[in-house]
Homo-oligomer: A and B are copies of this chain.
Amino acid sequence: MGRESEADEEIFDAVDRALRKHGYAELTMQDIADESTKSKSLLHYHYDTKEDLLVAFLEHLLDSYEERLECRSAEPPEERLVEFLARFVFTPEDGDREAFHLALLEMRSQGPFNDRIREQLGRSDRLLRETVAEIIEDGIDRKVFKPVDPERTAALLIATLDGARTRQITLGDSNDSYTRVVVEELLDRVIEPILTGDTDLPSLEEALADSDREG
């Protein structure tokens, strides 16, 4: 994938808004056109089917997430890890971010029936796990973390963050703090014990206040 054109960016913004409004299963090309300055027929000129457009949208999401992660790679590993975890916490200011993740969850339940969606899901899983594993390896090299197994630790952390998010978005308002409780417990129970004596964990509150959180 080369650099995206402005036209692509505008289309992906429209897909994002349409997914938040309509979810995935019911989404039509017309819904996307309604959120865009492009007509439905122009969308079809660029993308044959709704599936083509959504696969391109997933690729775009992963590309930009990958870029953002790379920008951070010079920071101290303990800071990167807390920032990574903080991105999974939903706060009341997050607006329709839950709606967005709910649409992604619908797409995920289609993964096993759709090779191209599954391919993007697999890429997302590898990106998340490799990012965490790489942060942990870096921390072990710098003697910030004890020598745990980076891949297994990453699998544990990603499963936990994913599960907390899924439960928060599917259970509704009564569980506002599910992701926050789980991230706090992960920090206390899984991350703190692997810190070497010299390291302090950065505060979750600061990481949450950081403006560059996941969209």
Contact = CB atoms under 8 A, between A and B. Distances in A.
A170 B25 contact: no
Interface residues of A, number: 43
A170 B155 CA distance: 15
A109 interface: yes
B106 A102 contact: no
A159 interface: yes
Contacts of A184: 152
A159 B158 contact: no
A193 to B, nearest CB: 7
A112 B159 contact: no
Interface of A: 23, 25, 98, 102, 105-106, 108-109, 111-113, 118, 121-122, 125, 152-153, 155-156, 158-164, 166-167, 169-172, 174-175, 178, 181-182, 184-186, 189-190, 193
